[in-house]
């Protein structure tokens, strides 16, 4: 099953490469297609996150009122969620659905000469000039299969700059959505910690995977901000 998912992703990239003539743009198009497919769920995700933040003052009141009775607190909190039609786990599903694609793309584009990924295996069927052309993303990244760490070790500072920039964007893509959501500083500090951790993961990830994640996050941030603006305006009109 897992191999079938990876094969499907490779075939999708090859089909989109036939349209774009560039695997970097093919990854961007694949990301857009996937984000569009997830729109119904991501709409619910942002709505759930917004509603959770909106009712936080009431939740704090319950926590204060029943601080010495945890069982009663759980009962009243669940009842409050049901009365307000809020699902505290509503924001998790879109992220969970993205992870298999992220991991499969990681394995498709990644690999080593000893254990190449499916994309590397495909490149081996091409001649050297075609290989170099297929690996490159426009004039920005010479090799979508390379990790920033590997580029740094092999070439040094000048060549690693676009890869390092992508790693920074990767970290920002984890940090920024949390900062843009209304909420408490404690949650935003957790988002900062996660972003710092993800910088290392980005450093050891194939550039094509980072391109996918950054594109997906950018689209998610745009959708998130449009929704939040709509909800804020509607709440202002209601009050």
Position of tokens 């676009």? 162
Q: What percent of the chain has pLDDT over 70?
A: 88
The CA distance from 126 to 150, in Å, is 23
Q: What are the tens digits of pLDDT across the range 159-217?
A: 899 999 999 999 888 888 777 766 556 666 666 777 788 888 899 999 999 999 999 98
**Residue ranges covered by each domain of the chain:** 2-234
The proportion of the chain whose per-residue pLDDT surpasses 90, expressed as a percent, equals 24
Structure-token pair, residue 224: 């998130």
Q: Whole-structure pTM over 0.85, yes or no? A: no
CA atoms within 13 A on the CB side of 118: 18
* pLDDT reading at 237 higher than 70: no
């Amino acid at each position: 099953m897992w191999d079938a998912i990876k094969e499907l992703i490779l075939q999708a990239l090859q089909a989109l490469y036939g349209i774009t003539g560039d695997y970097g743009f093919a990854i961007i198009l694949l990301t857009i297609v996937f984000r569009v497919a997830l729109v119904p769920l991501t709409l619910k995700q942002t709505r759930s996150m917004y509603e959770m933040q909106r009712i936080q003052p009431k939740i704090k009141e319950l926590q204060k009122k029943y601080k010495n009775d945890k069982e009663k607190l759980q009962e009243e909190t669940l009842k409050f969620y049901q009365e307000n039609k809020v699902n505290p786990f509503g924001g998790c599903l879109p992220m969970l659905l993205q992870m298999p694609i992220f991991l499969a793309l990681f394995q498709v584009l990644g690999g080593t000469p000893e254990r190449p990924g499916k994309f590397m295996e495909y490149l081996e069927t091409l001649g050297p000039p075609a290989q170099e052309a297929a690996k490159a993303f426009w004039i920005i990244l010479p090799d979508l299969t390379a990790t920033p760490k590997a580029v740094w070790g092999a070439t040094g500072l000048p060549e690693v700059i676009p890869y390092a920039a992508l790693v920074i964007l990767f970290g920002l893509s984890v940090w920024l959505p949390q900062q843009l959501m209304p909420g408490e500083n404690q949650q935003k500090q957790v988002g900062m910690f996660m972003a710092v951790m993800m910088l290392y993961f980005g450093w050891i990830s194939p550039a094509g995977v980072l391109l996918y994640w950054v594109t997906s996050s950018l689209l998610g941030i745009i959708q998130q901000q449009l929704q939040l603006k709509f909800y804020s305006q509607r709440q202002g009109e209601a009050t």
